[in-house]
C-alpha cells in the first residue's frame, strides 16, 4: 500500500508560501496597532494576546479602539461632515460602540428594534439615527417616532400607512426615505447582494414601484418625504456600482421633482447610498480606498444632478464592515490536532479551536475566507495542508477550509483570526450551548471588557 503523504502546501495565490511568511503579520488585514514582539508574541495596542487569553480566557474578540475610531474619522473626513456617514450598527453594536460613534461625530443606522434600543440606551442622539427594516412592527415604529429618530427608510406600501398612522397617533411629522432597488448587480456573494430585482428589500426602480411608493409617501399624512435610499450590496470592491445606482436614483429624483408641488420638492434633499465598502480579509486583498470612493461618488452625484437638472442632494452613506471589520481579531486556543486521510490518500491536518461557527458563521454561510496566525510564539515547522475547525457537533463547522500551516502548531497554542469585527459577534449564536465569547477592548497597553463572556447561569436564567 502506498504510504500516506502530507499534501504539499498548495501555492494558492492568497496563501502563505513559507513559515517565515506565516510568522509575519499582513498589516492591512489586522488592526492598525498589531505587532509581533521580539519574543514572538503578538500584541494589539500594546496588549500581548497571551495576557488576554490568560486574563479573559478563549475564545475572545479583541477590539482595537483606536483602529475603530480612526476608521470612523477617516470616513467622516472623506465624505466631509460627520453627519453624512452613518455607522451601520448591524456589523457590531454595543453601548460603548454607540458612544464612540457619537463622539466621532458620525450618525447611526439601525435595522431592528433591538439595535435602536441599544443606541437609545447609550444615549445616542436620536436626531442622528436612520431606521431600516423590511418588516418593522408597530412597536418598533412607535419607539422610533417617539424617540425622535431622524429618518425612517420605507420598505413597503404597508409600512407607509402603518407609519403614517403611528406618526399621527404620536402627534408629529416623521421624515422618511424610500428604499429603492436600482437593479445594479454587484460582484459579491448572492446573500449579501441587495440591489437586484426579486428580493425582499425596497421597491423596484425598473417596475415603477419605487416611484409610486415615493408618491404615496408624499400623500401620506404626517410623513415628510425627504429622499431616496439604496444599498447595492456588501463587501463590494467595484465602486462603479455605487455610482451607477446614484445616477439611476437621481434620474428618478428628477422625474419626481417634475411632478411634486414646489414645497414638497424642496424638502427632497437626501440621497442615501448605503454601505458595502469591501475590506481585506486576506493578505492579497486590498480594501476599497474610501477617500477615493468618496471623492468620486460626490463628484459623480454632482455631475448627475446637474445633468438631470436637480439641486445636488446631501449624500448619506452607511458603512458597517469598513469601520468595525478590521478593528477586531478573535483569539482561540488550539485543542485537538488530528491528521486525517483524504479520499486521494493524502493527509489533511485538522486543527480544532475552542470556538467555531457559533462565533463566526461567515465561512459556513458565505464561504468567507480568513487569515490565520499563531499568536503566542513564532512557529518553525514546514507548512502542511490544514483545515481550521471549531468545536461544534457539525462537520460544516469550518473556520478556514484550506490553508498551509507550519507543522509544529500544537495543542495549547493561541490561534488568531483577523478582521472578525463585522458580522461575527453580531451573528453569533449559542449553538451546542457554547457561550458567546467576551469582547475585550484594547488601547494604549490597557485592556477592558466591553461585553463579558456569557455564562451558563445567563442561559439557565432565561428558562422559566
Ligand atoms: N446599509 C444597509 C441598508 C444595509 O443593508 C447594510 C448591510 C449596510 C448599510 C452595511 O453594509 P456594510 O458596509 O457593512 O457592507 N452578514 C453579511 C453582511 C450583511 C449586510 C447586510 N446589510 C456578512 O457577514 O457579510
Domain boundaries, the chain: 12-63+326-460, 65-325
Per the annotation, the verdict on 393 as an active-site residue is yes
C-beta 272 within 6 A of ligand 1: no
Task: Give domain 65-325's CATH architecture.
Answer: Alpha-Beta Barrel (3.20)
Whether 36 has a binding-site annotation, put simply, is no
318 is in an annotated binding site: yes
Q: How far is the CA of 338 from the centre of ligand 1 (A)?
A: 36
Sequence-separated (6 or more) residues with CB below 8 Å from residue 408: 379, 380, 381
CA 87 to CA 301: how far, in whole Å?
21
Residue ID of nearest Cα to ligand 1 atom 24 = 423
- Determine if ligand 1 sits within 6 Å of the CB of residue 228: no
Pick from 108, 200, 318 the residue to mutate for probing ligand 1's pocket: most ligand atoms within 8 Å of its CB: 318
Nearest to 412 by CA among 330, 464, 370, 351: 351
Distance from the alpha carbon of residue 343 to the mean position of ligand 1, in angstroms: 38
The CATH T-level fold of domain 12-63+326-460 is Lyase, Ornithine Decarboxylase; Chain A, domain 1 (2.40.37)
* Residue 122: CB atoms within 10 Å: 18
Q: Which of 231, 315, 357, 361 to mutate to test the pocket of ligand 1 (most atoms within 8 A of CB)?
A: 231
Q: Is 325 in the pocket of ligand 1 (CB under 6 A)?
A: no
User: pLDDT at position 16, please?
Assistant: 74
- Sequence-ordered list of residues with C-beta below 8 angstroms from that of 321, at least 6 positions apart, any chain: 88, 91, 234, 235, 275, 276, 277, 278, 279, 422, 423
Whole-number pLDDT of residue 8: 46
Q: What is the pLDDT of residue 11?
A: 44
Q: Considering the candidates 98, 172, 217, 393, report the single residue annotated as catalytic.
A: 393
Measured distance CA(36)–CA(168) in Å, rounded: 59
Q: DSSP per residue over 356-387, as a string? A: -TTT--HHHHH-----EEESSS---SPEEEEE
Cα separation, 98 vs 276, whole angstroms: 20
- Dihedral of CA atoms 149, 290, 252, 267 in degrees, nearest 10, equals 40
pLDDT along the chain (464 residues), means of 10: 49 69 97 97 98 98 98 96 87 98 97 98 98 98 98 98 98 98 78 68 95 97 98 93 95 95 93 97 96 96 96 97 98 97 88 98 96 98 96 97 96 98 98 98 98 98 97
The three cell numbers of residue 456 are 451558563
Q: How far is the CA of 317 from the centre of ligand 1 (A)?
A: 12
Task: Supply 408's cell numbers.
Answer: 509544529
Distance separating alpha carbons of residues 396 and 389, to the nearest angstrom: 9
Give the distance (Å) from ligand 1 centre to CA of residue 148. Answer: 24
Q: ∠ CA(442), CA(72), CA(140), 5° rounding? A: 100
**The three cell numbers locating residue 374:** 499563531
Query: To 5 degrees, how large is the angle CA 196–CA 76–CA 327?
Result: 80
Amino acid at each position: 500500500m502506498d504510504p500516506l503523504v502530507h499534501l504539499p502546501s498548495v501555492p494558492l495565490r492568497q496563501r502563505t508560501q513559507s513559515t517565515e511568511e506565516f510568522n509575519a503579520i499582513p498589516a492591512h488585514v489586522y488592526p492598525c496597532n498589531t505587532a509581533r514582539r521580539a519574543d514572538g508574541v503578538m500584541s494589539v495596542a500594546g496588549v500581548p494576546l497571551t495576557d488576554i487569553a490568560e486574563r479573559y480566557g478563549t475564545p475572545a474578540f479583541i477590539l482595537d479602539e483606536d483602529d475603530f475610531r480612526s476608521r470612523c474619522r477617516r470616513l467622516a473626513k472623506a465624505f466631509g461632515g460627520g453627519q453624512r456617514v452613518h455607522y451601520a450598527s448591524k456589523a457590531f453594536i454595543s453601548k460603548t460602540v454607540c458612544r464612540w460613534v457619537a463622539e466621532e461625530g458620525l450618525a447611526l443606522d439601525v435595522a431592528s428594534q433591538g439595535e435602536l434600543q441599544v443606541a437609545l440606551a447609550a444615549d445616542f442622539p436620536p436626531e442622528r439615527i436612520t431606521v431600516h427594516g423590511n418588516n418593522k412592527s408597530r412597536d418598533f415604529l412607535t419607539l422610533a417616532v417617539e424617540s425622535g429618530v431622524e429618518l425612517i427608510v420605507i420598505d413597503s406600501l404597508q409600512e407607509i400607512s402603518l407609519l403614517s398612522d403611528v406618526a399621527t397617533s404620536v402627534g408629529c411629522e416623521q421624515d422618511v426615505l424610500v428604499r429603492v432597488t436600482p437593479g445594479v448587480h454587484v460582484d459579491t456573494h448572492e446573500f449579501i447582494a441587495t440591489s437586484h430585482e426579486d428580493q425582499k428589500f425596497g421597491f423596484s426602480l425598473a417596475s415603477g414601484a419605487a416611484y409610486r411608493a415615493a408618491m404615496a409617501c408624499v400623500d401620506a399624512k404626517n410623513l415628510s418625504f425627504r429622499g431616496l435610499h439604496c444599498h447595492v450590496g456588501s463587501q463590494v470592491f467595484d465602486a462603479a456600482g455605487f455610482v451607477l445606482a446614484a445616477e439611476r436614483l437621481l434620474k428618478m429624483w428628477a422625474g419626481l421633482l417634475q411632478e411634486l408641488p414646489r414645497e414638497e420638492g424642496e424638502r427632497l434633499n437626501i440621497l442615501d447610498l448605503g454601505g458595502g465598502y469591501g475590506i481585506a480579509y486576506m493578505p492579497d486583498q486590498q480594501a476599497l480606498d474610501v477617500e477615493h470612493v468618496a471623492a468620486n461618488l460626490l463628484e459623480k452625484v454632482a455631475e448627475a444632478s446637474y445633468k438631470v437638472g436637480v439641486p445636488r442632494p446631501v449624500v448619506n452613506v452607511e458603512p458597517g464592515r469598513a469601520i468595525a471589520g478590521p478593528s477586531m481579531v478573535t483569539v482561540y486556543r488550539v485543542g485537538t490536532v488530528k491528521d486525517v486521510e483524504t479520499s486521494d490518500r493524502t493527509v489533511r491536518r485538522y486543527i480544532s479551536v475552542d470556538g467555531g461557527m457559533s462565533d463566526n458563521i461567515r465561512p459556513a454561510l458565505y464561504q468567507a475566507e480568513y487569515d490565520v496566525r499563531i499568536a503566542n510564539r513564532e512557529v518553525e515547522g514546514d507548512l502542511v495542508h490544514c483545515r481550521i475547525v471549531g468545536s461544534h457537533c457539525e462537520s460544516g463547522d469550518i473556520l478556514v477550509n484550506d490553508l498551509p500551516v507550519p507543522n509544529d502548531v500544537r495543542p495549547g497554542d493561541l490561534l488568531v483570526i483577523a478582521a472578525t469585527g463585522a458580522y461575527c459577534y453580531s451573528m453569533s449564536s449559542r449553538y451546542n450551548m457554547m457561550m458567546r465569547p467576551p469582547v475585550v477592548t484594547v488601547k494604549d497597553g490597557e485592556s477592558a471588557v466591553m461585553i463579558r463572556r456569557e455564562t451558563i447561569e445567563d442561559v439557565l436564567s432565561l428558562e422559566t
